[in-house]
Structure 1
Amino acid sequence: MPGPGTEIHVTPGGDGTVRVAPAALLTYDGTVAAGPDFTRSVLDVTGAVLIRPVLGGPGLPVAEIHDAGRAQQWLWAVYGPRVAAAVHACAAGAQEPLVVSGSGGRPTALANAAARLAFGHWASRWWPASYTDGIAALEPGVLGLELAALTHQCQQLFDDLDERSEVSGADFDARLDGTGTELDDCAAELIEDHLAALDPLLQWWHAGPQPASTARHLESVLRLVDDAADCAGLDGPDLRRLRASLDGERENGSTVPAGAPIDPGTLFARRAGYALAAGEPLLAGGRVIARGSGTNDWRRCPPGFVDAAEDSVSWTARALGARRRIEVEVVAHVTAPVDGVPLVAEVRVNGGRPNRVPLARRDDVWTGRADLDQPRGQDLPSATAPPRIEVGVLLPGFDPGPGPDGRADRDAVRALARRRLTDAARSRPYDADGTEPFLAETLAAAATSEDY
């Protein structure tokens, strides 16, 4: 529910949509404060999209509602009955924005769980893992299973599965999120995709000694995963071992297993070292004209390809006789694929048209070199007028194109990740109010200084 002094603005749109927005997230002219994609969490739910700035404090999200009738199943439980009534009024024809004052209540369990689920999806895409910045990567299997647990916990946000089964074809497409995009109701898929992490998670739960809060957190996630798998009709040896383990704890009356001590990091250890790809090492030669750092725009590559550090892209321009060559090195993410990925560097000289340099992974870097196409009459000056060279890295077909400079926002996201890892390193009671570290963050915080 909205807290004391909170105002919720409910605004009808000209196309039948309704926006619900806390006053704190609105600008002076009543529009929702915008920011780069990587500063917002987005959750597709029944009849709406929930948007929340990850760099702000705790609070309710903005809801862009495209089906007010279906959204009523969760609106009252997230924003309160008065906001739900205001949305109904706008959908029924009210033309003016409505303002609902806070009721003074604490956020509901569903609101907290939804905030946590949204942040987890954000982290799976935008977490700024960087070896050079000392920000450990989140174990995808552990994060995926906790997202499955949270999705199951947030079922009120999504259509009932029995109701969905009665809809097919174009009607079903129209009922996804209004645009044909899948809802974030994917507990079964997340469990199936990350089954390999289930046994290590069980071993972590049974290990001892460990903080009681961590054991309770692990048990909560495992029980929700078990229930979600049962509801979805999933089966298999991993899930049967999970059920047997949970049933055994119920029979023994223990909620904090006490097995042999174990370092949880070893349960999810990645393979050591870096495999070699077919890329050739960059060879020195020619006269260096210029060198510098490029732009690491996180939006232009999928997660897990490039180290998120601001200075992970570097380049050197050389003169080889009449030719001009650019050499690019990009620090690889620790989970980057070894081959089969057409990653490229985009190079612009003095604002000219882009040159694309294919990159191949070798050890812990992506490398590539290419001769630059130079329009007739233009050259890379080497003395009185150094060239202005801009270098970025992207994945063709995924890249949305260059955007405005987002360095300040990227720095803020890095600071957020460091704060969360610091908090994760401190043991505190687990009460699932939406602010606790994810299990994957607890693992990342335990990474030794030798690793990061």
Structure 2
Amino acid sequence: MRLVNESGLWTTGVDPAPIPAVAVLEVSGAVLSWPVDDPAWPPVVSFTDADRADWMWRVFGEAGHVAVVEALRDADPADVIELPPVAVLPGSTDCLRRLALGHWLRRWWPASARDGISALDQAVLDAEVAVLTAAAQDYFTDDTLDADVSGLLARHGGALLSHRDARVGALAARCQDLADELGLEWDTRDVGTARREDYALAAGGGDDSGPADTVADGEVTIPWAAVPPGIFDAAEGNLGWAVLCAGSIVSVRVRTALCGPDSAVGLPVSLRCGMFHATGVLDAEGRGIIPVFEAGGQPADEAKAWDTDWSATKVSVGADRADESREVRDRMRAFARTRLGSPADDAFLAEVLAAESDY
């Protein structure tokens, strides 16, 4: 094992893959990461507090645990620490990798009506991750981001208990037991889950403000890392924009493709092209019409808008994540299709149900 200090954290290696191709799990005292589509890789371990990582002996052996803690105590961040006898024990992190994969499915699964990638049942997936987390409590002696079993279970009681599939029924019974153990008041009302698979860029109106001439239009892809999960269709070109002139008023119309149970309402959207800019928020259907302004803050001039080359227009939703590549997104789509087409040994029930729904 080699330990290097990266950005203040001691780690066993560089990031194994770029976002969103990396599965991550925060346990007590460390963050573990794997390339999501290569199960042969051992985890990269980044220590947040090695003294709190009481589970290390399970992964490195007792001697390895002691060696790592001693080596990191008062270590100089400029040093490279070599621990040749220490390595990840075969099979020791299999359960953790599967749990990390479950969290990846929750955050990054590229559901898309356009691409034909079925959405995963959120209630079933969260329940499975909750059960796995409860079984791995030895790794969660501290409250970490990924240790919240109650948070995973709280809102899914009704959806799970009303499911007709016997496999989900067995999962729901296990989750009911977990809720009882945790003292969780499990909400068993079946409130239903809205689905938006039928929405597309050409989805109906509701954002039209009257007759307008189109000055320019185009489409872009919303980076997956820029927005919360469960809202947008994960296909390329999932945001269409058009600069409009209605009389002397210049605005930009934005329409996004939705494919998830959650709402786009309030997500920031912006346009920039040369001297022109527009900033606003999406509505619940992922649309919006936003006034365009010039650099000085005055409303955009109609004649200038018509005289502008809009080919360099940048439109974004959510956070600025320009470092995410289409190549990585395509790689994750291929990964998802493979898992649906031939469920792996570590497949989640939510994946199996999605695969079955395709037939």
Query: What is the TM-score when the length of structure 1 is the normalising length?
Result: 0.66
2:84 alignment counterpart: 100
CA distance in 1, matches of 2:290, 2:74: 60
- Residue 373 in 1 paired to residue 356 in 2? no
CA distance in 2, matches of 1:188, 1:412: 33
Return closer, same or farther for 1:145/1:323 CA change in 2, 3 Å cut-off.
same
2:354 alignment counterpart: 444
1:417 alignment counterpart: 336
SS in 1 for 2:288: strand
Map of 1:295-310 to 2, 5 A cutoff? 295-310=221-236
- Residue 228 in 1 paired to residue 178 in 2? yes
Map of 1:335-414 to 2, 5 A cutoff? 335-337=261-263, 341-350=265-274, 352=275, 354-362=277-285, 366-375=286-295, 379-382=304-307, 385-394=309-318, 399=319, 401-414=320-333
2:119 alignment counterpart: 137
SS in 2 for 1:116: helix
- Residue 35 in 1 paired to residue 28 in 2? no
Give how far 1:411 is off: 1.6
Give how far 1:142 is off: 0.3
2:213 alignment counterpart: 287
For residues 379-411 of structure 1, give each alpha carbon's deviation from its aligned partner in whole angstroms, at most 9, with x where no partner exists. Answer: 23558x4542221222xxxx3x34325222122
Letter in 2 for 1:407: R
Pick aligned residue for 2:149 from 168, 182, 187: 187
2:10 alignment counterpart: 18
CA distance in 1, matches of 2:29, 2:268: 38
- Which stretch shifts more, 294-303 or 95-104? 95-104
Tell whether the 8 Å contact from 1:295 to 1:391 is kept in structure 2 after alignment. Answer: no
CA distance in 2, matches of 1:103, 1:405: 32
Give how far 1:115 is off: 0.6
Give how far 1:310 is off: 1.4
Query: What is the TM-score when the length of structure 2 is the normalising length?
Result: 0.81
2:137 alignment counterpart: 155
CA distance in 1, matches of 2:3, 2:281: 49
Map of 1:310-329 to 2, 5 A cutoff? 310-329=236-255
1:169 alignment counterpart: none
Map of 1:113-132 to 2, 5 A cutoff? 113-132=95-114
Return closer, same or farther for 1:274/1:184 CA change in 2, 3 Å cut-off.
same
1:263 alignment counterpart: none
CA distance in 1, matches of 2:184, 2:245: 61
Give how far 1:296 is off: 0.8
1:245 alignment counterpart: none
Identity of aligned residues (%): 29
SS in 1 for 2:84: strand
User: Unpaired runs of 5+ in structure 2?
Assistant: none
Letter in 1 for 2:258: A
Give how far 1:43 is off: 1.6
CA distance in 1, matches of 2:6, 2:242: 51
Give how far 1:355 is off: 1.1
2:165 alignment counterpart: 204
Give how far 1:9 is off: 2.3
Say which one has the larger Rg: 1
CA distance in 1, matches of 2:138, 2:225: 31
Return closer, same or farther for 1:359/1:184 CA change in 2, 3 Å cut-off.
closer
Return closer, same or farther for 1:278/1:83 CA change in 2, 3 Å cut-off.
same
Tell whether the 8 Å contact from 2:106 to 2:122 is kept in structure 1 after alignment. Answer: yes
What is the number of equivalent residue pairs in this alignment?
A: 345
Letter in 1 for 2:23: S
Return closer, same or farther for 1:348/1:156 CA change in 2, 3 Å cut-off.
same
1:63 alignment counterpart: 45
- Residue 90 in 1 paired to residue 71 in 2? yes
Tell whether the 8 Å contact from 2:254 to 2:288 is kept in structure 1 after alignment. Answer: yes
Return closer, same or farther for 1:291/1:421 CA change in 2, 3 Å cut-off.
same
SS in 1 for 2:234: coil
CA distance in 2, matches of 1:90, 1:223: 45
Return closer, same or farther for 1:32/1:99 CA change in 2, 3 Å cut-off.
farther
CA distance in 1, matches of 2:256, 2:247: 26
SS in 1 for 2:165: helix
2:259 alignment counterpart: 333
For residues 173-209 of structure 1, give each alpha carbon's deviation from its aligned partner in whole angstroms, at most 9, with x where no partner exists. Answer: xx65xxxxx34222233233322233245x422xxxx
Give how far 1:299 is off: 2.1
Give how far 1:348 is off: 1.0
Tell whether the 8 Å contact from 2:240 to 2:256 is kept in structure 1 after alignment. Answer: yes
For residues 204-235 of structure 1, give each alpha carbon's deviation from its aligned partner in whole angstroms, at most 9, with x where no partner exists. Answer: 22xxxxxxxxx6x985x567546634542457
CA distance in 2, matches of 1:125, 1:272: 18
